[in-house]
Amino acid sequence: MGIPEMQTNLRAFARARDWQQFHSTKNLVMALTGEVGELNALLQWVEADNIQDWMTVPANREAARDEIADVLAYLLQLADGLGIDVEEAFNAKLGKNGAKYPIEKAKGVSTKYNDLG
C-alpha cells in the first residue's frame, strides 16, 4: 500500500464520520503537533541507551507504533488538503538536500545541517 492509497483510506474514514469539517489546514497542523507531542511524551523519560530494551516490552512497542501512525495520518491528511503530492515532495527535497550537503563536505558533520539528514 502506497501513500496515495493511505490518503484514500483516511479520506473515506473522515468522510464517513463527517469529520472533514474539522480538517482545515491549521486544525490539521495542530493535530499533527499534538501527536508529535505524544511521541515526545512517550519517550521523554526513557534513557537514551535503553530505548531498544524499552521497545521489547509489547505495550511500549505498540504505543510507539500507534504514535508514529497518528503522526503519519495527520501529515498525509494535511498534504492531501493542500494538494501536495507527498512522494514527489519527498523526492524533490531529498534531491535538494543532496545538493546542499555534498557527501565530501557533509561527512560526519552534524552542526551544519538541519533537515532530512
* 23, 74 contact by CB (below 8 A): no
Cβ of residue 58: shortest distance to a second copy, in angstroms? 13
Binding mask 3-22 for a second copy (x = CB under 8 A): x--x--xx--xx-xxxx-xx
Going by C-alpha positions, the residue among 72, 71, 64 that lies closest to residue 43 is 64
57 binds a second copy (CB under 8 A): no
Q: Which of 8, 53, 84, 100 lies at the binding interface for a second copy (CB under 8 A)? A: 84
Q: Is 99 in the site for a second copy (CB under 8 A)?
A: no
User: In the set 8, 11, 58, 111, which binds a second copy (CB under 8 A)?
Assistant: 111
Contact of 75 with 7, CB cutoff 8 Å: no
> What is the nearest approach in angstroms of a second copy to the Cβ of residue 102?
9
Half-sphere CA count of 39, side-chain side, radius 13 A = 15
Q: What are 21's three cell numbers?
A: 469539517
- The C-alpha torsion from 82 through 87 and 92 to 93, rounded to 10°, is 80
Q: Which is nearer to a second copy, 21 or 58 (CB)?
A: 21
Size of the site for a second copy (CB under 8 A): 80
Residue 63 interacting with a second copy (CB under 8 A): no
- Name 11's Cβ contacts closer than 8 Å, sequence gap at least 6: 77, 80
In whole angstroms, how close is the CB of 65 to a second copy at the nearest point?
A: 4
